Structure 1
Amino acid sequence: MATYQLTAADRASVPTSYPSEERYLGYRDADEAKPYAKYFRADALPMQPHVPEVLLTGMAPSEYGYDIDDAARKLSRPGYHKMETGCTVLDSGVVVVACRTEMPGVTGEMWDWWMGWHSCESARYKLWHPDAHQFTAVGENRLSDRTLTDRQRYVGNVSYVDEYVGGVLTPLAIRFVEPAELGFEDSRPGSTVIAGRVGLSVAPIAFGWLVHQVRGTDSGAEMRSRFFLNHVEHLDLPAAAVATPPAGRAPIAEGDPKSLGLGLLSHCAVEMNHLASFLPALYEEFAEPATARR
């Protein structure tokens, strides 16, 4: 079974902005003054046409799913799976969510840059899903280290995010890992794999894994997202690394895994399609050339 090894970012104190930064959807005056504010849209683009049909159909057969330990082997093969978009529950109780998003003009390099660039500032995070994203902060802000690659800025790091999933405000801590730890080999040019352990920011609990495979196509790329929920683990974190909810904000209550899975499918389908629509232009304007970082 896949295991997670704690990093220095895990043991670091919760970012100072976590208890103090105001949570809200959308942009305000301070956000509008950001140099990238022109990319913010008040309403997210709708999900791609194949997703609503899947949501109406409901849960897929359990035989269409697989667990995190098979993810690298399954996703590394050419072609597609029976469940490229959908949700199912394995006999083990693990909830599997899959979502395929076509991304014309996008590359894996753009996604590696985005994962390191957006997580240090909530206004950047809101670009991704204006109807759901409220807050982000990162365990170790590595953007000022010009010797790091884009991947090194987020792999081994912790992203603290508050976002609505299925209408429920969810305080998450996403711990990004090297895809090789899950069995993935190096990606081809134009492609990448983003992998992480998903848990709560307000408790030392992990409950899932995520994998986003960005695979090159003739028109750009496609993202094959996979979530594996109900892998519950208590993390041996110091007290300072567990967030206290902001005043008036209670921790998330335990919910139905199936409802969470369908809510996550809808969330993923919207945010990935929305960001892909302007990621090439954002990357062209704000990504620092690798040669300038070294």
Structure 2
Amino acid sequence: MTTTYEISAADQAPVPPTYQAEPRYLGYREADRGQPYAKFFTERTLPVQPHVNQALLAGMAPTEYGYSPADAVRMLTRPGYHAMETGWTILDDATIAVSILTDMPGVTGEMWDWWMGWHSCESARYKLWHPEAHQFSAVGQPRSGDRDLTDRQRYIGNVSYVDEYVGGRLAPLAIRFVDPARMGFDQIPAGETVIVARVGPSVAPAAFGWIVHQVRATDSGSEMRSRFFLNYPQQLELPPTSVARPPAGRAPAGAPNLELLGVGLLHHCAAEMNHLASFLPELHAAFDGTP
């Protein structure tokens, strides 16, 4: 997988005005409950799947179980499973490698492509994913209402600005979605998908990680194999209007402890993916085709 991110048109668009104007809060308020998808609101995420707790208790996995983002295509396109399907470790170059396996009965890759193009334009939609951690979401280029686009075209090449807690620390992020074919994932079986993104702070012209979510078919539906590669920096040539200013009183936390970041991200991803997958088929059936 090539690991140099190339600036897109969405990167150069101004930060959405709601970034400064919209209040931040966990959970839902009365205004949110008028949304047509409010029946899917919950106050808590589902418990993580049992193997996640085992990985958290085990602590850091051996360095040899991790690999760099440059090896992601080679490793994820092979059949079978890895020694660290769920866990975290720190590589010799200080890259933090985090892996999460999530079983998703009844879910397909198409549902995930739809979700990625549908959820980012409203914070209340984003909170469906993880109501205990997600606060805000907006996109660089609103595309959810463009019926001439495919689900994948609504998010690939776009930027998702999100505020969320990871391991109890506020993280204002810009998630920049990349065509998986350009990164080397050019043979994705029908019914499956691969989601690739470069992630960094929304308040600085930089990136610090890569994200890969492989949705692979199983006998009961699918499984998601999530991979995070953090502490992998790159400066981005962004115009000043494309770098967010934190809302008043919302300064991000300082640099995190690497071990705490690995543990926090492992639990966060395992919680949000398992939670959303529990109702994604019903949500998709109700709102597929709507902006």
Does the CA contact (< 8 Å) of 1:170 and 1:252 recur in 2? yes
Match of 2:181 in 1: 180
For residues 64-102 of structure 1, what are the alpha-carbon distances to aligned partners after superposition, in whole Å with 9 as ceiling and x for unaligned? 011111101110011000000000011111000000000
- The reply on whether 1:104 has 2:115 as its aligned counterpart is no
Is 2:219 aligned against 1:218? yes
Amino acid at match of 2:277: A
Indicate the residue corresponding to 1:282 in structure 2: 283
Q: Which runs of 5+ in 2 are unaligned?
A: none
Q: Which residue of 2 is the match for residue 153 of structure 1?
A: 154
Identical aligned pairs, as a percentage? 66
User: Helix, strand or coil for the counterpart of 1:120?
Assistant: coil
Q: Which residue of 1 aligns with 2:79?
A: 78
How far did residue 181 of structure 1 move?
2.1
State the TM-score, normalizing by the size of structure 1. Answer: 0.97
CA drift at 1:185? 1.9
The residue type paired with residue 254 of structure 2 is A
- Secondary structure at the residue paired with 1:250? coil
Q: What amino acid does structure 1 have at the position aligned with 2:279?
A: F
What SS class does the counterpart of residue 181 from structure 2 fall into?
Answer: helix
Task: Tell me how far 1:251 sits from its aligned partner.
Answer: 2.6
1:213-253 CA distance string (max 9 Å, x none): 00000000000000000111111111000000001111331
Give the corresponding residue for 2:56.
55
SS in 2 for 1:267: helix
Alignment of 1:216-255 (within 5 A): 216-255=217-256
Distance in 1 separating the partners of 2:131 and 2:287: 20
Which residue number in structure 1 is paired with residue 42 of structure 2? 41
C-alpha displacement of 1:186:
3.1
> Which residue is 1:14 aligned to?
15
Detail structure 1 runs of 4+ shifted over 4 Å in the superposition.
none
Q: Distance in 2 between matches of 1:195 and 1:16?
A: 26
Please give the alpha-carbon distance, in whole angstroms, between the structure 1 residues aligned to 2:204 and 2:53: 33
The question of whether the paired residues in 1 share the 8 Å contact of 2:170 and 2:252 is answered with no
Question: How many residues matched?
Answer: 290
**Which secondary structure state, in structure 2, belongs to the residue aligned with residue 13 of structure 1?**
coil
Distance between the aligned counterparts of 1:185 and 1:134, measured in 2? 34
CA distance in 1, matches of 2:50, 2:177: 30
SS class of match (1:240): helix
AA paired with 2:135? Q
Give the whole-Å Cα distance in 1 for the aligned partners of 2:146 and 2:285. Answer: 20
Asked whether the equivalents of residues 9 and 140 of structure 1 are also in contact (C-alpha less than 8 Å), the reply is yes
CA distance in 2, matches of 1:88, 1:235: 27
1:261 CA displacement: 1.3
| Residues in 2 aligned to 1:258 and 1:198: alpha-carbon distance in whole angstroms | 19
Pairwise CA RMSD:
1.1
SS at match of 2:119: helix
Q: Could you tell me how far apart the structure 2 residues matched to 1:186 and 1:239 are?
A: 37
Once residues 17 and 201 of structure 2 are traced to their aligned partners in structure 1, the CA distance between those partners, rounded to angstroms, is 17
Q: The residue matched to 2:187 in structure 1 has which SS?
A: coil
Task: Say whether residues 1:4 and 2:5 are aligned partners.
Answer: yes
Q: Tell me the SS of whatever aligns to 1:119.
A: coil
TM-score by length of 2: 0.98
Deviation at 1:288, TM superposition (A): 1.2
Q: Which runs of 5+ in 1 are unaligned?
A: none
Contact 1:64 1:88 in 2 (8 A): yes
- The secondary structure found in structure 1 opposite 2:212 is strand
Q: 1:286 to 1:148 in 2, by over 3 A?
A: same
Deviation per CA, 1:100-124: give whole Å up to 9, x if none: 0000000000000000000000000
